Amino acid sequence: MTVDRVVEVLEEIALLLELKGENPFKARAYVNAARALETLAEPLDTIVTEHRLGTIKGLGDALQQKITELVTTGRLDYHEKLKASFPPNLLTLLRIPGLGPKKVKVLHERLGVGDVDQLQAACERGAVAALEGFGEKTQAKILEGIEFQRRHASHHHLHVALALGERLLEQVRGHPATIRCSLAGSLRRSKEVVGDVDVVASSASPSALIESFCGLPEVASVRARGETKASVVCADGLQADLRVVSDREYPFALAYFTGSKEHNIVMRRRAIERGLRLNEYGLFRSEEETRDPRLLVPCATEDEIFAELGLDAISPELREDAGEFEAATHHTLPRLLKWTDLRGSLHNHSQWSDGRQTLEEIAAQALELGCDYWAITDHSKSSFQARGLTPERLEAQIKAIGQLNRQLARDGHELRLLTGSEVDILSEGRLDFEDDLLARLEVVVASIHHGFSGSEEEMTRRLVRAAENPHVHILGHLTGRLLLEREGYKVHHAKIIDACAATGTWIELNASPHRFDMDWRFWRLARDKGVGCVINADAHHPAHAGYLRLGAAVARKGWLTKKDVINTRPLPALLKLLEKKRTSQR
DNA sequence: GCCGTTTTCGGCCCGACTGTTTTCAGTCG
């Protein structure tokens, strides 16, 4: 069993124990054990084989035994029994905002609620509001949460869909019958969440490709399977569609299945205006719907289709009918950012707060990625849950980073770690650290982590005040949204953008696929007002460094170029810009 | 369930906010 799966099982046990009403510290012990395993530097099975689990802090006799059983047999009796004592879908209730283990326990015991459908029914007949400790508001909030999840139930986070899509694509590409292939759909357009994975391929023998696709190891079940099209369901219920066409049809099919629907409508209208007809099989000299190859206007690539319709080539990310046609007509499409333009990330966490890596590990990884700089911006003291730093610990961290930087320089490395903080924005826009401490940091990100329920005016005022502080460089994850989980708090984007423009404050594009915040739809406004974008990994874990690539994709969706993104600058230019905000406002 | 010159039980990370309550439990971060 892989270490990731062991971690999952331990975390699930912790939740089940809480639902049982067990000693919360017992549950905590399982979470701690999961954390400890996640940060292992060597393979778990080696440690188990050599009986060295006891050397890991947080693993006592009981957990050592359980982990050994998991690793060696692939299952854990204790876990199976615990699971069997609850309805199979009870844990899904914990994903509804406002519901924790205690409330779920009551709902289960008093009302027999075991899944989301039953919870919804109980709310609708008013049974939840009647429970002790619940009320009308709680019931309404639960219904709201259920509705939100329903609305997004068929959607998936971009990193999950992309990982699956790339694995599938790789295998389609490797098939001898494949001529060309690509991802398509909202995944290719880098939407913040996607419904399914679309793959388009060209081949002379479609059925061979379809057959191979349906038999791929990722496929859990085949939903539909024809001569040129197959629809399968993979892990996590993620659906994947393969569409196979002839190579002549390929660019048209690719454009059609990339969408968006709104973009395609305009494309077809432009074709009609030119006496042509566009569909997924080609561009035809015809007034009628047709597939007649004798009428085809041959195009070898998507770019040639655009050219036939009097347009510059439009990147997939921009195909939302959000101004791309005007720009493509007037040759004013932006030269979009490439993710390799990024030189580092200015918002990241370490073991000093809630990150998983030591400063040394972070530096090693940033070096490996070829970054010029990587800011350490751990949480401030009000974020207790995240082990936020007191001023004293922050001072100590500044020293530690200085030492590490000197070591890096002695070893001849170009990389610089930057000192910093993700400082909490408290009520009324006050900050969690005093100005003189902030002034000593190279990078200050200010974010809201508490008090999400304020009105739009209050939240906006808090963010504007934070931007007005000369020591704050960046506003972090502007709305606090968690994609597919909860809406962000309400903010007035335009007012905040204006405040950032006036104060020279940058806005973060948080590259975590759970956030992608600020939303791509606002970046053109920000750019037009001269507000810089910083694409930040908000890394808490080694795997998160890769989020920069996703963040860049979303920035492209927001029409941003290399020039618009601050962390494309080399270190000396960046340091100058960081200094500028502080000096220009004094 | 883990940990310990608090050596064998008692503590384990804290504060704001919300909605439920008339003093607090649960959730969230």
Strands (E) across A294-384 are located at 344-345, 373-379
For residue range A151-209, what is the model confidence (pLDDT) as tens digits? 777 789 999 999 999 999 999 999 999 999 999 999 999 999 998 899 999 999 999 99
Using a 7 Å cut-off to protein CB atoms, list the covered nucleotides of chain B. 1-3, 11-21, 25-29
Provide the pLDDT for residue A510.
Answer: 96
Residue A25 (CA) to nucleotide B11 (C1'), in angstroms, measures: 10
Q: Which nucleotide is nearest to A133 (CA to C1')?
A: B20
- The answer to whether A433 touches A423, Cβ cutoff 8 Å, is yes
Residue A570 (CA) to nucleotide B26 (C1'), in angstroms, measures: 48
Q: Which residue is nearest to nucleotide B14 (CA to C1')?
A: A384
Residue A82 (CA) to nucleotide B9 (C1'), in angstroms, measures: 28
Residue with tokens 């507000």: A531
Q: Which residue is nearest to nucleotide B24 (CA to C1')?
A: A133
Strands (E) across A392-547 are located at 416-424, 443-447, 474-475, 506-510, 533-536
The separation between CA A311 and the C-alpha centre of its own chain, rounded to angstroms, equals 32
Q: Which nucleotide is nearest to A454 (CA to C1')?
A: B17
Q: Which nucleotide is nearest to A30 (CA to C1')?
A: B1
DSSP-based three-state secondary structure for A50: coil
Q: Which nucleotide is nearest to A65 (CA to C1')?
A: B1
Provide the pLDDT for residue A485.
Answer: 84
- The answer to whether A232 touches A223, Cβ cutoff 8 Å, is yes
Contacts of A72 (CB under 8 A, 6+ apart): A48
Q: Which nucleotide is nearest to A103 (CA to C1')?
A: B26
DSSP-based three-state secondary structure for A281: coil
Residue A388 (CA) to nucleotide B25 (C1'), in angstroms, measures: 25
Residue A197 (CA) to nucleotide B13 (C1'), in angstroms, measures: 42
- As a whole number of angstroms, the distance between CA A556 and CA A53 comes to 46
Residue A383 (CA) to nucleotide B21 (C1'), in angstroms, measures: 27
Q: Are strands A416-424 and A506-510 parallel, antiparallel or unpaired?
A: unpaired
Radius of gyration of chain A (CA): 26
Residue A13 (CA) to nucleotide B14 (C1'), in angstroms, measures: 24
The H-or-E segment that residue A201 falls in is: strand A197-203
Q: Which nucleotide is nearest to A449 (CA to C1')?
A: B29
Q: Which residue is nearest to nucleotide B11 (CA to C1')?
A: A25
Q: Which nucleotide is nearest to A448 (CA to C1')?
A: B29
Q: Which residue is nearest to nucleotide B20 (CA to C1')?
A: A133
Whether the pTM exceeds 0.75: the reply is: yes
Residue A350 (CA) to nucleotide B1 (C1'), in angstroms, measures: 27
Residue A517, CA distances (Å) to A15, A472, A483, A511, A522 in order: 29, 18, 9, 8, 10
Q: Which nucleotide is nearest to A453 (CA to C1')?
A: B17
For residue A505, give the DSSP letter. Answer: -
Residue A504 (CA) to nucleotide B13 (C1'), in angstroms, measures: 37
Provide the pLDDT for residue A585.
Answer: 57
Contacts of A220 (CB under 8 A, 6+ apart): A232, A233, A234, A235
**φ/ψ of residue A503, rounded to 5:** -105, -5
Q: Which residue is nearest to nucleotide B21 (CA to C1')?
A: A133
- As a whole number of angstroms, the distance between CA A279 and CA A7 comes to 48
Residue A80 (CA) to nucleotide B24 (C1'), in angstroms, measures: 36
Residue A179 (CA) to nucleotide B28 (C1'), in angstroms, measures: 51
Q: Which nucleotide is nearest to A131 (CA to C1')?
A: B20
Q: Which residue is nearest to nucleotide B1 (CA to C1')?
A: A26
Q: Are strands A193-194 and A533-536 parallel, antiparallel or unpaired?
A: unpaired
Residues of chain A with pLDDT under 50: 586
For residue A138, give the DSSP letter. Answer: H
